[in-house]
Amino acid sequence: MRLGIHSVQDLLFHLPVRYQDRTRVVPIGSLRLGDQAVIQGEVELADIRFGRRRSLLVRLADGSGSISLRFFYFSSAQQVAMGRGACLRCFGEVRNGPAGYELVHPEVQCIAEGQAAEVEQALTPIYPTTEGMHQLTWRDLTGRALELLEDGGLQEWLPVDILREHGLQPLAAAVRLLHRPPPDQSRQVLSEHGHPAQRRLAFEELLAHQLSLRMLRQRRRQSAAPSLLGDRRLQQRLLAALPFALTAAQQRVLTQLRDDLAQTQPALRLVQGDVGSGKTVVAALAALHCVEAGYQVALMAPTELLAEQHWSNFADWLDPLGVALGRLSGRARGRRRAATLQGLGDGQLQLVVGTHALFQEDVVFNRLGLVIVDEQHRFGVHQRLALREKGAAGRIPHQIVMTATPIPRTLAMTAYADLDLSVIDELPPGRTPVSTVVIADARRDQVVERVALACRGGRQAYWVCTLIEESEALQCEAAEDTAAALHEALTGLRIGLVHGRLKAAERQAVMDDFKAGEIDLLVATTVIEVGVDVPNASLMVIENAERLGLSQLHQLRGRVGRGAQQSHCVLMYHPPLGGIAQERLTVMRESNDGFEIARRDLEIRGPGEVLGTRQTGEMQFRVAELLRDQDLVPDVRRLADRLVHDHPESVAPLIQRWVGSKAQYAVV
């Protein structure tokens, strides 16, 4: 089924999204706009009205007041049944009509004289549905499932002492209440998911996910990995050659990585750091630690451009140290590819930088000891698994996964419980926060003048084209048109162009010229989102900024502000702005803090999108919501440890109930 319902248990956990109160008849005179209510009264008149659309208008009164019932679709039998003097019971939503309040197409029941019409005994649930499934069908199905619940159809896996300690009601009672809440339950509390029964289910689901990740971590620790004991000779030479000293945060994370790599179980550490915090140099030092121990390193990036940037940085740093580097992209062909594969197979190449091409079957390593994955959320699980299997002699390589998209701590603790977490929470000294302004594209000429002023003052600038077209060809064509228009408007300035359809060598040549100061203004698509570091670039213009998410805007802005001078980012938008787009641009204007931006991004988009591939279809919650239920996470983490030690018999059934076959998703 589209909704993932295959069993009675699935049906019991398919909870209503909202509720209607049909447990009492409400006086018509007490109705307010927007109310959904049951009313009963006598028909005073029933007429067919002819306006833009023909409609049947019925006037219903009960002594406290009157209201109109409007029907656009009706039969002659319905018209007769709702004639003057008929007694009707209706349910609908109160709206404004031409002559006062009205119900449009309410549910109607004709009440015979002397008949006592029963009201509902519980709030009426409204379920998430799909085509062909009516709410009456859902109520019938869940009603039958609740009957089975009476026969012990839902096993309680949380021990009684834990339920008591955390003030949790039994699972069966919580499920029953949520499907058929008594009339005295607050619909507002239920709609806000603040009811103890909802919290009870969210708590157990978060606990099951936490346990599944603990089990994966435990299983990983039973595998063997090479113990990498570097002598730090190469690391010391690189540190001495760098024009800057590592920050305290970089040193702390590097120590954690060295400790990880010395272990005989496969390390799996997530390194988070804001844009410009210096993750790449920490990764290079960890790679040298592996090379010193006599093993190979694979560094994997999600795009050709980012792989090229990593290659450029690593070549600058490691070539002088005599480290043999290779690169492998999807575009590599013929002799060059064959030579790289041979170098990896015979161990001559010590470090390879590549894209998804590293996953391919014919890529064989001699002694792979460490895999570094950049912007890890862009890779699928199976792709990461493919590299895991390329370790030497049955040993699993250590893994470091890096992201410049900060993940709020609560979310990281829940979604990445199988990883060790390091945060580079300090920017290098001397960085000046980027000043951000938001401007409508009607002021484009002023923005062009600002670019001219900056470039003629010796600075460099980016002009980023963000386009709604899905076609890469159309995006590149539009970027070319923008570059041509800016050439015309900015005579005398050296303008370069980078987009996804340029050959790698051409793109690299343009980037090298920009780095060398031979290009004043770089026009680009969002391919420059990550990996580009030009300290003299102090101005960025992002066209149609309203089309991008917060994470991508923050990544793009991070290309400036990498030197000591004041940098600026202009977010140019095309009005009118939607509510979410306006909120995003306001956040960008107000904050440079990646973790604060990530928190706001989580509020706007939800955890599924923030986590990217790892979440999509792989770690989806039925009841819990990470942002809403984050206050439960500390207790859940403590209880997960306790269950593993004191009640191991409950662990597997809880995982099976809530996670099922998806428990394998995080094996990397």
What's the pLDDT score for residue 206?
A: 93
Q: Is the pLDDT higher at 190 or at 528?
A: 190
**244 and 324 in a common domain:** yes
Choice among 20-34, 179-193, 221-235, 420-434 with the minimum mean pLDDT: 420-434
Nearest one of 333, 377, 332 to 354, comparing CA atoms: 332
Query: Is position 168 within any domain?
Result: no
What's the pLDDT score for residue 633?
A: 87
**291 and 264 in a common domain:** yes
Q: Which helix (H) or strand (E) holds 28?
A: none
Nearest one of 419, 312, 466 to 668, comparing CA atoms: 419
**416 and 462 in a common domain:** no
pLDDT of 381 higher than 60: no
Residue 484 exposure: Cα atoms within 13 Å on the Cβ side = 6
Are 422 and 432 in contact, with CB atoms under 8 Å apart? no
pLDDT of 615 higher than 50: no
pLDDT of 387 higher than 70: no
Are 94 and 39 in contact, with CB atoms under 8 Å apart? no
If one counts the domains in the chain, the total is 3
Mean of per-residue pLDDT scores for the chain: 86
- If pLDDT is split at 50, 70 and 90, which confidence band does 84 have? very high
- Give backbone dihedrals phi and psi of 122, rounded to 5 degrees, phi first: -140, 165
**552 and 627 in a common domain:** no
Taking the C-alpha atoms of residue 260 and residue 215, their distance in angstroms, rounded to an integer, is 19
**372 and 244 in a common domain:** yes
Within 10 angstroms of residue 109's Cβ, the number of other Cβ atoms is: 13
What's the pLDDT score for residue 668?
A: 36
pLDDT tens track for 537-562: 999 999 989 988 888 898 889 888 87
Query: Is position 182 within any domain?
Result: no
pLDDT of 611 higher than 60: no
- Tokens at 547, concatenated: 């089309």
pLDDT tens track for 270-289: 898 887 788 899 999 999 99
What's the pLDDT score for residue 276?
A: 77
Choice among 163-167, 326-330, 393-397, 416-420 with the minimum mean pLDDT: 416-420
Place of tokens 């009118």: 576
pLDDT tens track for 568-581: 999 999 898 888 89
What's the pLDDT score for residue 166?
A: 92
Query: Is position 146 within any domain?
Result: no
Cβ neighbors of 169 (< 8 A, separation 6 or more) are 163, 196, 197, 200
Query: Is position 335 within any domain?
Result: yes
Are 544 and 463 in contact, with CB atoms under 8 Å apart? no
What's the pLDDT score for residue 313?
A: 87
Taking the C-alpha atoms of residue 72 and residue 50, their distance in angstroms, rounded to an integer, is 11
Query: Is position 161 within any domain?
Result: no
Q: Are strands 420-424 and 460-464 parallel, antiparallel or unpaired?
A: unpaired
**384 and 244 in a common domain:** yes
Choice among 207-221, 232-246, 580-594 with the minimum mean pLDDT: 207-221
**487 and 409 in a common domain:** no
CA angle at 392 for the pair 236 and 668, rounded to the nearest 5°: 85
Range of the domain at 544: 435-591
Nearest one of 374, 411, 422 to 600, comparing CA atoms: 411
- Tokens at 476, concatenated: 């590149």
- Choosing from 591, 621, 656, the residue where a domain stops is 591
pLDDT of 22 higher than 70: yes
- Choosing from 98, 119, 140, the residue where a domain stops is 119
CATH code for the domain in which residue 211 is found: 3.40.50.300
How large a percentage of the chain has pLDDT more than 90?
49
Q: 364's torsion region: left (phi>0), alpha (psi -120 to 50) or beta?
A: beta
Q: Is the pLDDT higher at 381 or at 585?
A: 585
Are 221 and 265 in contact, with CB atoms under 8 Å apart? yes
- Choosing from 591, 626, 648, the residue where a domain stops is 591
- If pLDDT is split at 50, 70 and 90, which confidence band does 252 have? very high
What's the pLDDT score for residue 115?
A: 78
pLDDT tens track for 296-352: 999 998 877 788 888 888 999 999 999 999 999 877 677 888 999 999 999 999 999
pLDDT tens track for 511-530: 889 988 999 999 988 777 55
- If pLDDT is split at 50, 70 and 90, which confidence band does 667 have? very low
**417 and 444 in a common domain:** no
Query: Is position 158 within any domain?
Result: no
The sign of the dihedral angle between the CA atoms of 235, 242, 374, 303 is negative
Taking the C-alpha atoms of residue 186 and residue 190, their distance in angstroms, rounded to an integer, is 6
Taking the C-alpha atoms of residue 338 and residue 334, their distance in angstroms, rounded to an integer, is 6
Which burial class, exposed, middle or buried, applies to 52 when counting CB atoms under 10 A from its CB (0-12, 13-18, 19+)?
exposed
Residue 336 is which amino acid?
Answer: R
What's the pLDDT score for residue 619?
A: 55
Q: Are strands 368-374 and 398-403 parallel, antiparallel or unpaired?
A: parallel
pLDDT of 586 higher than 50: yes
**75 and 224 in a common domain:** no
Query: Is position 518 within any domain?
Result: yes
- Tokens at 484, concatenated: 């041509």
pLDDT of 589 higher than 60: yes
What's the pLDDT score for residue 472?
A: 60
- Mean of the pLDDT values across residues 87-115? 91
Query: Is position 394 within any domain?
Result: yes
Q: Are strands 460-464 and 568-573 parallel, antiparallel or unpaired?
A: unpaired
Taking the C-alpha atoms of residue 648 and residue 187, their distance in angstroms, rounded to an integer, is 38
**262 and 404 in a common domain:** yes
pLDDT of 380 higher than 70: no
Strand partners of residue 54: 50
Nearest one of 243, 241, 246, 245 to 257, comparing CA atoms: 246
What's the pLDDT score for residue 613?
A: 38
**444 and 374 in a common domain:** no
What's the pLDDT score for residue 453?
A: 93
What's the pLDDT score for residue 248?
A: 95
- pTM recorded for the entire structure: 0.72
**236 and 338 in a common domain:** yes
- Tokens at 347, concatenated: 């161990």
